[in-house]
Amino acid sequence: MPETLIVVESPTKVKTIKKYLGADYEVRASMGHIKDLPRKTIGIDLKNNFEPEYQIIDAKKKVVSEMKKTAKSIRNIYLAPDPDREGEAIAWHIAQEIGSKNKQIKRILFNDLTKNTVLEALRHPHDLDVNKYEAQQTRRILDRLVGYKISPLLWEKVKRGLSAGRVQSVTVRMICEREEAIKNFIKEEYWNILATLEGENPPSFDARLIKIDGKKAKLENEKETRGLLSELEQSAFIVSEIDKKEIKRNPPPPFTTSKLQQESFRWLRFSAKKTMTVAQKLYEGIELGDEGSVGLITYMRTDSVRVASEAINEARKYITENYSGAYLPTKPKTYKNSATSQDAHEAIRPSSMSFRPQDIKKHLTADQFRLYELIWNRFVASQMNPATFDQTTIDIKAGRCLFRVQGSIMTFDGYMTLYKEGKDENGGENHGGAAKQVNGNGEEYGSAKTLPELSTGERLNLIKLTPEQKFTQPPPRFTEATLVKELEEKGIGRPSTYATILSTIQDRAYVTLEKGRFSPTELGVLVTDLLVKNFPHIMDIEFTAALENKLDSIEEGKLKRIDTLDEFYRAFEEELKQAKSEMRNIKREETPTDYVCDKCQSPMVMKWGRNGRFIACSNYPDCKNTMNVPSEDASGQRNGEEAIDVKCSECGHPMVIKQGRFGRFLGCSNYPECKNTMAINTGVPCPKEKCDGFLTQKTTKRGKVFYGCSRYPACKFATWDHPINENCPNCGAKILVEKVTNRGATKKVCLNKDCGFKAEA
């Protein structure tokens, strides 16, 4: 008969823990939360200190009943949900349901699920943490107040089914503001000049203009640039300074949650949600043959880079046994947490160095192996010596101008033998794991140009001067990695919430994720605009971050739940009252258009319905004629705007852009009376010889866009890349295409593989 009951969250943990303990222990799973606020009422007593009214979740009633039955005959009960606020709330709710005066209920925490950790936790149980529970309750009540009070307002003013979230709505605002910045961005022209030079010793090399008259070089147009080129052609190029030094690059610390999500996106193309799902499984336990179920990593929700000394010693021992002595630092490496870190748990690391990724690969899925290897490599690398580079910087005077060239050669790979950080270069993203490491000059470490032996005062031979026309680029749209990074830097959300935030804003159709980048939907922009104007506190980024800090203070026992909720609600209630009377009623708004109803000749107006915007007759309800709206992206740019003026060849009505199974197409606005359709013409002729077709945008069955000839199947020309109606200046090919490089730049490229033409788009 078991003498002790241990309650965990996940059934996977049950299997892992049971193998460490004997028959005296009964292990049960709560399957997550067992209680929550009611679904159909607010569930918060606003007149009684915001007291929450928790109910057992319907789907968990059987779980709770069985837990109570098991606990009846057991005196010692250990509650072991996850070691965070949500886990603490689960523990408190379980204690409320199965506790009694004759029961000894204690809390135990597992940072990882190894035998030593489980046994050590059982030796040191402690009381439930009321402050952590209070912090979780405060967050839950805040979220319920915002969602329950604002959502019905959106139903009334915009459409039913909409919802608002305290943190999610602020995240959507960040995406909308980035889109607005892109929309309003005005490109500015600037020019670079490269000088191809050679000295007494080979090879030749390119140096870049960096200063004019002692100030940072700034060339704004071609005329100014051509004038300087004429001047430089008459100038002597003299080596003015040579700087050689050793550069060290230190290893990054082991993973926090946000850094794991960022790096797994950059290297593995995992979404934040997928990263956390796979990590959860690695933490809870994997069946490793004779070893049974083993928890392979420490707890994966953390903002700390702290590592237990035992784990550091294990890593150092592993480095000693598997690498030369040059890779092991004299002293163990330690890392400092950020000022806002809670440091409740260790960094994410392997729970034991006994399970090398390659040794257990056969027991893991492909995704589990890749993420585990990433965590393993980052942790081991964090205890290795720095990588070193010999860096040479050469300055060259030419009249009133200064040119510079820099080269670096890796002299010792150090931690880079095992791990390299991915970078969002120039706001770009790294496709297919092509993450790179760049130095402060934007050059990739260890791959810079080879420089010749030069001496100070040496006169160089000018081979050629190359002007480069450039344009400033707008800020990039957020990827999952850069959005998580932005949330962390601004203090929005916490490690346990990033993945949920990113999933929720997509599920609510406020944003879309296309080609790895977030864009707001028309609905997202509309709702955000309404919320920002009517709930400035709720939608303020600094206010939201400050509220997160208050939750942390409640957990630390420095603030009271009631005081925090009361302060919040007083300001919120005022905004709510004002919004009910002053918020725009989108449902009732009618925007005039240039269209005339073809049934009654009344003007057509733009309206908003449950499926978005549409055009309807102003003579409603006497006339119920409607038509689709030509689609727009979030910036207001009409997709395929040339199609708006196209008339239907069958009935003469305007054609509108529609979305079908195989991509966008033009459909008659008089549908269903007229079912005429046309392909969207890109304006680019088909490059095939003797073909008079044009290229149209199409979509594969899996949703991938490509461009094919309008005369298909007679002509089967197709390309994945966006076509440009320009002849190749190099080989004369009929069209060029746009390609996006790994650094996020757009290039014009010739499709002729033997040509190789490339230029800035």
Token pair 């890593």 in the structure block, residue: 315
In DSSP terms, 658 is beta-bridged to 665
List CB contacts of 700: < 8 A, sequence separation 6 or more. Answer: 662, 706
Q: Write the single-letter amino acid at 532.
A: V
| pLDDT value at residue 635 | 36
SS3 4: strand
Annotated domain spans of the chain: 4-128, 139-184+480-582, 189-250+388-471, 271-384, 685-761
pLDDT band, very low/low/confident/very high, at 446 (cuts 50, 70, 90): very low
| pLDDT value at residue 705 | 75
Domain 139-184+480-582 - what CATH class? Answer: mainly alpha
C-alpha to C-alpha distance for 260 and 408, rounded to whole angstroms: 29
pLDDT band, very low/low/confident/very high, at 427 (cuts 50, 70, 90): very low
We find that the CATH architecture of domain 271-384 is: Orthogonal Bundle (1.10)
pLDDT tens-digit series, residues 274-313:
999 999 999 999 999 988 899 999 999 999 999 999 999 9
Of 663, 656, 602, give the one whose Cα is nearest residue 629.
Answer: 656
Better pLDDT: 117 or 747: 117
pLDDT tens-digit series, residues 586-611:
988 888 887 888 889 999 898 887 66
Token pair 């009381």 in the structure block, residue: 127
C-alpha to C-alpha distance for 98 and 243, rounded to whole angstroms: 72
Of 48, 39, 132, 49, give the one whose Cα is nearest residue 92.
Answer: 132
Alpha-carbon distance values, 54 to 64, 90, 135, 138 (Å): 14, 12, 16, 13
| pLDDT value at residue 443 | 44
Of 313, 276, 282, 277, give the one whose Cα is nearest residue 298.
Answer: 282
Share of the chain above pLDDT 90, in %: 69
**Over 50: is that where the pLDDT of 367 sits?**
yes
pLDDT tens-digit series, residues 388-399:
999 999 999 999
Of 192, 39, 174, give the one whose Cα is nearest residue 486.
Answer: 174
Q: Residues 345, 83: contact at Cβ < 8 Å? A: yes
Q: Residues 635, 648: contact at Cβ < 8 Å? A: no
SS3 744: coil
**Parallel/antiparallel/unpaired status of strands 736-740 and 722-724:** antiparallel
**Over 50: is that where the pLDDT of 444 sits?**
no
| pLDDT value at residue 426 | 46
C-alpha to C-alpha distance for 495 and 516, rounded to whole angstroms: 21
Q: Strands of 224-353 (E only): list them.
A: 237-249, 286-287, 293-294
In the structure encoding, which two tokens stand for residue 343, read together?
């440091």
**Parallel/antiparallel/unpaired status of strands 35-36 and 55-56:** antiparallel
In this prediction, residues 331-338 reach a mean pLDDT of 92
C-alpha to C-alpha distance for 559 and 553, rounded to whole angstroms: 6
Angle at 309 between CA 305 and CA 312, to 5 degrees: 75
Q: Could you give phi then psi for residue 652, rounded to 5 degrees? A: 85, 0
pLDDT tens-digit series, residues 340-358:
777 678 999 999 999 999 9
Other residues' Cβ atoms within 10 Å of the Cβ of residue 38: 13
pLDDT tens-digit series, residues 154-175:
999 998 889 999 999 999 999 9
In this prediction, residues 461-480 reach a mean pLDDT of 95
In this prediction, residues 677-697 reach a mean pLDDT of 85
3-state secondary structure 669-708: CCCCCCCCEECCEEEEECCCCCCCCEEEEEECCCCCEEEE
pLDDT tens-digit series, residues 701-741:
655 778 899 888 889 999 988 899 888 888 888 899 988 76
Better pLDDT: 673 or 518: 518
| pLDDT value at residue 637 | 35
Alpha-carbon distance values, 588 to 162, 443, 606, 631, 715 (Å): 17, 56, 11, 21, 50
**Over 60: is that where the pLDDT of 639 sits?**
no
Domain 4-128 - what CATH class? Answer: alpha beta
The residues annotated with a catalytic role in the active site are 299
| pLDDT value at residue 448 | 52
C-alpha to C-alpha distance for 719 and 707, rounded to whole angstroms: 5
Other residues' Cβ atoms within 10 Å of the Cβ of residue 674: 15
| pLDDT value at residue 159 | 86
DSSP state of 291: G
Radius of gyration, alpha carbons of the chain: 32
Mean confidence (pLDDT) of the chain: 89
DSSP state of 416: G
In the structure encoding, which two tokens stand for residue 672, read together?
């269903």
SS3 663: strand
Angle at 289 between CA 288 and CA 294, to 5 degrees: 30
In DSSP terms, 235 is beta-bridged to none
| pLDDT value at residue 23 | 87
pLDDT band, very low/low/confident/very high, at 129 (cuts 50, 70, 90): very high
Of 755, 718, 754, 719, give the one whose Cα is nearest residue 739.
Answer: 719
In this prediction, residues 236-240 reach a mean pLDDT of 98
Counting every residue, how long is the chain? 761
**Over 60: is that where the pLDDT of 633 sits?**
no
| pLDDT value at residue 636 | 37
Cis peptide bond prior to 350, omega within 30° of 0: no
Share of the chain above pLDDT 70, in %: 92
| pLDDT value at residue 501 | 95
Query: Is 189-250+388-471 assigned to CATH 3.40.50.2300?
Result: no
DSSP sequence for 63-88: HHHHHHHHHHT-SEEEE---SSHHHH
| pLDDT value at residue 660 | 55
List CB contacts of 9: < 8 A, sequence separation 6 or more. Answer: 29, 30, 31, 32, 81, 82, 87, 90
Q: Write the single-letter amino acid at 647.
A: K
Q: Write the single-letter amino acid at 312.
A: I
pLDDT tens-digit series, residues 195-215:
999 999 999 999 999 999 999
List CB contacts of 371: < 8 A, sequence separation 6 or more. Answer: 264, 268, 270, 275, 278, 279, 282
C-alpha to C-alpha distance for 159 and 181, rounded to whole angstroms: 28
**Over 60: is that where the pLDDT of 442 sits?**
no
First to last CA, the chain: 75
C-alpha to C-alpha distance for 446 and 436, rounded to whole angstroms: 11
| pLDDT value at residue 428 | 40
Better pLDDT: 216 or 1: 216
309-322 helix and 366-381 helix, angle to the nearest 10 degrees = 90
Q: Write the single-letter amino acid at 655.
A: M
In the structure encoding, which two tokens stand for residue 438, read together?
């760049």
pLDDT band, very low/low/confident/very high, at 41 (cuts 50, 70, 90): very high
| pLDDT value at residue 432 | 32
